[in-house]
Copies of this chain bind each other. A is one copy, B any other.
């Protein structure tokens, strides 16, 4: 017997029929003898509708009222889920954030969970009930409803799982796991059986579609094992042979749980990256701040940053990337930046960032070198390189993006078996 938190996202509870489909997954786990708590998002589209109304009511509005309005979406889903579960013969009741209670700070609209009192949930679960908790929200010390910000439902689920000491937290979504790369680009992409928290974080561009970065960070910190799986798989298909959690899906877990570490677990792609180069910048303390401070002030998100060691310790070149859509704005900001001296500024849109990610890189030298060779074999020119402990990224011409992804996917042995 395990204790499981099951989280269903917006598309999984988009209407009553979908909620019924989701509930059948819950039923399967309950009938297998597990203790289950459910966390739900709002029906897909509902949160946008509510947010839209707030914006229509006033362009600048009190975040506390925004939270009161927007949090209603999950309240609806939680009640409906409890009704559907009861109809299936499973004892169930809904809990709004304030009823659990899920305590948060009072940073309305993007609150942080400060603690969850597990007593109510534990009591229900240990007596065979299935509590259904509203994701995305909590209650402040001032007894006002708070929301965690977009994607907060995953975070709620992980926090609930940590509070009730669940064996795992199953995140049900519209895809059946985390893939080695985007299957639309590389048809040979395959689902990963397991992936480490660190890899999941580095694969943000792949992973963000299925799991909020914030929830992965919390899961890593709290040691909550996550399973990404699909609501649309047949709930009654029974346990798949050889899989501990009974269905297809990807386990996101501590590196220690992954026996055979792949050197590279995934290949990610980010399109529409523009690069900007400042030449012959005075290399003195504070120069980075002089470049990136004004960009941050203008709310421009900078991605890759490369600065070479200068030959003489006085003059250097700095290159970095921003989204194509921010390119013109960034150029203007830098041209007008005070306290910034350089000889020339240049740049261009239309780059693509390709990354290979894998915890195995830690113990395997030469991953970067082999990546460059694989790209060179296809005649792809590398414009920028950045590396972290478990990730190597290059900027290339966007025209070559798909070719590069497929080449690296094959090169690192990620392609699924034929047939």
Contact = CB atoms under 8 A, between A and B. Distances in A.
Interface of A: 16, 19-20, 50, 53-54, 56-58, 60-62, 64-69, 71-73, 75-76, 78-80, 82-84, 86-87, 93-94, 96, 98-99, 143-145
Most buried by B among A50, A56, A66, A98: A56
User: How many copies of this kind of chain does the complex include?
Assistant: 2
Contacts of A66: 79, 83
A96 B68 contact: yes
Contacts of A64: 93
A68 B75 CA distance: 7
Contacts of A54: 79-80, 83
Contact of A75 (B20, B56, B75, B82): B75
A61 B76 contact: no
A70 B78 CA distance: 12
A87 to B, nearest CB: 4
Nearest to A77: B69
A57 B84 contact: yes
A92 B86 CA distance: 39
Contacts of A62: 82-83, 86, 93
B61 A83 contact: yes
Contacts of A96: 68, 145
B75 A87 contact: no
Contact of A80 (B57, B67, B98): B57
Contacts of A16: 53, 56-57
Nearest to A56: B16
A400 B188 CA distance: 80
Contacts of A83: 54, 57-58, 61-62, 65-66, 69
A62 B66 CA distance: 29
A291 B82 CA distance: 42
8 contacts: A19-B57, A57-B80, A57-B87, A62-B83, A68-B96, A72-B72, A99-B143, A99-B144
A90 to B, nearest CB: 12
Given A72-B72, A86-B58, A86-B61, A80 B99 contact: no
A16 B61 CA distance: 14
A80 B56 CA distance: 9
A58 B57 CA distance: 35
A65 to B, nearest CB: 4
Contact of A98 (B67, B78, B98): B98
Contacts of A87: 57-58, 60-61
Contact of A79 (B60, B68, B75): B68
